[in-house]
Structure 1
Amino acid sequence: MWKWMIGVFVTMMIVSTACSSKGDKATQDPKQQTSFMQPIEVGIQVPSQLEPKKEYVLQVHLQQGKAAIDDASDVQFEIWKKDQLNKGKKIKAQHEQNGVYTVKNSFPGDGVYYIQTHVTAHGMHVMPVKMVVVGHVSEQELKSETDQPSHQMNGSGHHH
């Protein structure tokens, strides 16, 4: 009788151990668990020289940790001329590959413009802004922009 009870007990222990080891891989893999807790890194990339009325491809590169984000739920570019935020336009970005999303855009005239990306991915929303100069801009106009302090004018951003 004792042998039978010990046999049942050992069998129960083996079955319960086997069942508990078949968990969700996300809860077992610390790398996977922490990747969604890392901030989203956003790099806005534009050509160094921009001229009015020419079409350009604007890019944003998304990364979380060392992994490219190819499954963002929403990526949009918002573009406006200095002092004309209410006249800005939003363009939905297309996913290319390796965390790169693009839009095509032309700028109507010379001036200082702002490009803000609206990125929603992995439960986070990030909105970095980059200032760009299109065509010919006076030194005074450019200086008035660069003198204004801003914490998001560097073209990259993240959200905790």
Structure 2
Amino acid sequence: MKKISLLVSILIIMFLAACGNPEGGAKKGEDTKAGEEELAEELKELKVDFEIPETAEPGETVELKATVTYGDEKVTDADEVVFEVWKKDKKDDSTKIDGKNHKDGTYTAEMTFEEAGVYEMYAHTTARDLHTMPKKAITVGEEEAVEGHEGHDNPEGFALHFMEPENVVVGEETELMVHLQMDEKPLEKASVQYEVNKEGQVDKETIKATEGTAGEYTGTYVFSESGTYQLKVQVKADDGIKEQKEYEIVVK
């Protein structure tokens, strides 16, 4: 009888275990599916097809057009599409134009080039917590000889975009963020720091930036007084990249 009871107990345990497997298997399957969906989301890429003509005449108005996609999805609600245009080697005199959202994944703006020369431009695009800034160039009229050179002798394809903070208030933590790209891909593992000092003062403070999303480097700073501050972004990376850009921040 003891042997029979033991056998029955074993059979009951096996039966219960068998009944539990479908649920366990289903849960495992659900976890696997969720993992696959998460991986697929991570593999999606924010892309911008930036279209402009190769040439134009002085005084001609040109359309700048960006088509934004995320994976196979057209992005109709980008956080930002801003076209930044400057005459070659004069980026400090750039002009920024907000793109018009046509609600079909396309964003456009118009630019009139009054003078002959070579003009370069970015389509700064932020969407789905990602940022990209494809670069294009257009030749207007007869190309002029260019004198001088701005910045450091960085490799072709390097790009820096500082997200200038707005409505900075005394005593509140302000986020400082810069996006770096190389050949229109996020530039990772760079060394980035911010140097801050109030206008007219010698003392400077340095903030080490950390990389979160690929190519995105952030730091925080609390401005203790109102006034105008000078902020310097300093970048060092492989392939000989060394850049330094200065910005002005007004604190209320």
TM-score (normalised: structure 1): 0.66
Q: Structure 1: how far apart are the matches of 2:49 and 2:158?
A: 12
Q: Look up the match of 2:206.
A: none
Which residues of 2 match residues 100-111 of structure 1 at below 5 A? 100-111=106-117
Equivalent of 1:115 in 101, 115, 121: 121
Equivalent of 1:71 in 56, 73, 77: 77
The one-letter code sitting in structure 2 at the alignment partner of 1:98 is D
Gaps of at least 5 residues in structure 2 are: 1-26, 28-32, 147-153, 160-182, 187-213, 215-252
- Judge conservation of contact 1:42–1:128 (CA < 8 Å) in 2: yes
Root-mean-square deviation (CA, aligned residues, Å) is: 3.1
The one-letter code sitting in structure 2 at the alignment partner of 1:78 is E
Q: CA deviation at 1:33?
A: 6.8
State how many pairs are aligned.
131
Secondary structure at 1:79's aligned position in 2? Answer: strand
Q: Structure 2: how far apart are the matches of 1:157 and 1:57?
A: 22
Identity of aligned residues (%): 27
Distance 1:52 1:149, change over 3 A: farther
Q: CA deviation at 1:136?
A: 1.3
Which residues of 2 match residues 1-150 of structure 1 at below 5 A? 34-35=40-41, 37-137=43-143, 150=156
Q: Which has the larger radius of gyration?
A: 2
- Judge conservation of contact 1:51–1:134 (CA < 8 Å) in 2: yes
TM-score (normalised: structure 2): 0.44
Gaps of at least 5 residues in structure 1 are: 1-19, 21-26, 142-147
Which of the pair has the greater relative contact order for Cα pairs under 8 Å at 6+ separation? 1
Further displaced range: 108-117 or 46-55: 46-55
Further displaced range: 104-113 or 27-36: 27-36
The one-letter code sitting in structure 1 at the alignment partner of 2:93 is K
Q: CA deviation at 1:119?
A: 0.6
Q: Which structure shows the bigger proportion of residues in strand conformation? A: 2
Stretches of 4+ aligned residues off by more than 6 angstroms: none
Q: Which structure shows the bigger proportion of residues in helix conformation? A: 1
- Cα shift readout 1:23-63 (whole Å, capped 9, x = no counterpart): xxxx8595687346522111110123311212121101111
